[in-house]
Every structure is written in C-alpha cells, then in structure tokens.
Amino acid sequence: MTLDHLFLYLGILGYLIGAFCYLLHLVGRTRRLGAIATGATLAGFAAHTLSHLLRLYTLGRAAAVNPSASLSLFAWAIVLIYLVVEFRYQSRVMGAFVLPLAILAASGAAAVPERMAALPPRLQGLGLSVHVALAIFGNAAFALTFCVALMYLWQERQLKSRHPGRVRLPSLELLDDVGVKSVMIGFPLLTLALISGSAWAEYARGSFLTFRHREVWSIVSWFIYAGLLYFRVSAGWRGRKAAVLAILGFCFVLFTFVGLKILRDGSLL
C-alpha cells in the first residue's frame, strides 16, 4: 500500500465517523455530537488532502485524468464545499446528506485500480488538468445542490403533513438559498470546463466539438442548469420546481461522470 492510499483510507474513515455523527445529530441535535462530526470530517479532509499532495509530489503532475483520481478529487471537492457551507451557515444537518455521497465517491476511488492514462507528450500539459478540475469542482457544487434539493422536498413534505417527527431539517428559506448559491458556483465552473474542453479538443484533435458521448451529455447537463437559473430569474421559480430540476440535473451529471464509463467498459474497474 502506498502512502497516498493510506491517507485516502484515513480520509474515508474520518468521513465515515463524521457521517455517522451527523446522522445522530440530525435526530438528536446535540451540540457535542455535532462538534464531533465536524471534527472527524475536518480530520478526514486533512488526511484526504495529504493523499492528493503526496500523489502530486510522486507523479510530478496532476493525476485527475483516470477514474480513481477523478473520483477521489470529486469526493474531496464535495467535502470542501460542504465545510464552507457549514461554517458559513452554522448548520451541521446538511452533513448527514452530503457526507454519504462523498464517502461513495472516495470509496470508489479506493476500489478502482490506479491506472494512469497513456497520453501523448503533446497532451500532457496544464490544459487537460485545468479542464478536468473545473468539471469536477462544478459537479461537486451540483452534488451539494442535489442534496439540498432532497432536503427541501423532505422538509416541505414534513411541514405539509404537520407531523415533523424527530428529524428537524433547516428552514425552506435556508435550503433554497444554499441551493441557488451552489448552482451559481457550479454553473460557471461547468461553463468554463466546456470551453476549456473545446479548446483542448481543438488542440488535440483539430475540432472544437467531436460530438463524443461525454461531450453531448455534458452539454445536456449545462442546458438543464442554465434553464434552472433562467426560470429562477425570469419566472421566479422557487421551492419544489427548482428542487426537482436540480435533482434531474445531477442525475445527468452522474450519468456523464460515471454512467458512461460503466456502459462503455462494463465497469469502472
């Protein structure tokens, strides 16, 4: 086991402890459990960061061009964005929804064999790494939007039933605010990823658009989130409609990020 994989496993362990405590905090809402959850998540994030730094030092270049590294960076970006939101809004409840998604991505990174793509020397520059990083961070912001949308629908249903139960979620106003701000972060990143990807395709293959499956589905995802922002501004979409569209958009993101790979190769392995 290499040192960077060891720190990846330690990061996953921290996230698991954090997710478990966030779930308990979601039900009991005790301050101590919340503090433990945040501490464990921060410790896992620190270990995960060391894993990426060690990999970067070992390879001497960015390594997010293979499935394992991409999933690991995706999980890392999800946790980073979540921690910013937690400290900004002083709300730990969202961790119970966001951390499991990061754990799935990080666990996938640990399970997938490390295989570096054999790229021609002319393509081993900064351009491809920038494109991949922009896409991953944009998808991570959409992952937060997805989790918040699920919470919004659940909270709305609880309020309508007048039987909230033991699970106490943030207000609809707070969830709507986090949802729209995360889209406003993810959408420009996805736009820049598409632009940089087109520029890289022109440099690598002599064409801005090669109409490969990943490019087509990425453009479809872009239109869904563009529509979400447009309808929020022009038609005043809030609440359920925006939440449903955000969930749909992330389904396309997941299909583009993971589903196409599975359909093409039969598995991620």
112 and 3 in a single domain? The answer is yes
Question: Does 29 or 193 have the greater pLDDT score?
Answer: 193
pLDDT of residue 65: 62
**Residue 118 in tokens:** 């054999």
Residue 116 has pLDDT above 80, yes or no: no
pLDDT of residue 120: 55
pLDDT in tens, 78-114: 999 999 999 999 889 999 999 999 999 999 988 877 6
pLDDT of residue 89: 92
pLDDT in tens, 3-20: 888 999 999 999 999 999
146 and 236 in a single domain? The answer is yes
259 and 148 in a single domain? The answer is yes
108 and 229 in a single domain? The answer is no
Match 């896409």 to its residue by tokens.
135
Q: 224 near 249, Cβ under 8 Å?
A: yes
Question: Domain end: 118, 138, 156, which one?
Answer: 118
Q: Per-residue pLDDT averaged across 223-227, rounded?
A: 89
Q: Per-residue pLDDT averaged across 58-81, rounded?
A: 81
260 and 133 in a single domain? The answer is yes
Residue 268 has pLDDT above 50, yes or no: no
Q: 30 near 107, Cβ under 8 Å?
A: no
13 and 113 in a single domain? The answer is yes
Residue-level length of the chain: 269
Match 């119970």 to its residue by tokens.
96
Domain extent, residue 20, equals: 1-118
pLDDT of residue 267: 47
What is the spatial distance between Cα 60 and Cα 166, in angstroms, rounded to a whole number? 50
Burial class of residue 244 (count of CB atoms within 10 Å of its CB; 0-12, 13-18, 19+): middle
34 and 135 in a single domain? The answer is no
Q: Collect contacts of 121-130 with beta carbons under 8 A, ≥24 apart.
A: 122/204, 123/204, 124/61, 127/196, 127/199, 127/200, 127/203, 128/65, 128/200, 129/61, 129/62, 129/64, 129/65, 130/196
129 and 254 in a single domain? The answer is yes
pLDDT of residue 220: 85
Number of domains composing the chain: 2
113 and 196 in a single domain? The answer is no
What is the spatial distance between Cα 67 and Cα 131, in angstroms, rounded to a whole number? 15
